[in-house]
Amino acid sequence: MLAQYRELEQITALDRRKKVALAFASRSAIRKGRVLREEEMEMLVDQLFACEEPYLDPLQKPTLVYVSMSEIDARFRR
């Protein structure tokens, strides 16, 4: 968590409390590749949309990406 905090110090100008919260959240996040049950996925989506700003994470990266049907079609029709 300390390493995460130090990394945040270099990339953002947030106050200390927010940096600690971000480091803690990052450290306790669901790891990539973990398979979730349907109930867990629904709970995460519900929690996301209950947030004040559900479309961006605390570092202003998008949490959702729109992909049109034509783009999906193009990706799978090679």
Left if phi > 0, otherwise alpha if psi is -120 to 50, otherwise beta: which for 33? left
**Domain locations in the chain as residue ranges:** 2-76
Which band of pLDDT confidence, cut at 50, 70 and 90, is reported for residue 22? confident
Could you read off the pLDDT of 26-63 as tens digits, one per residue?
A: 777 888 899 999 999 999 999 999 988 899 887 778 98
pTM for this structure? 0.57
CATH (one of 3.30.1540, 3.40.50, 3.30.360, 1.10.287) for 2-76: 3.30.1540
Alpha-helical regions (H) of the chain: 2-11, 16-27, 38-50, 69-76
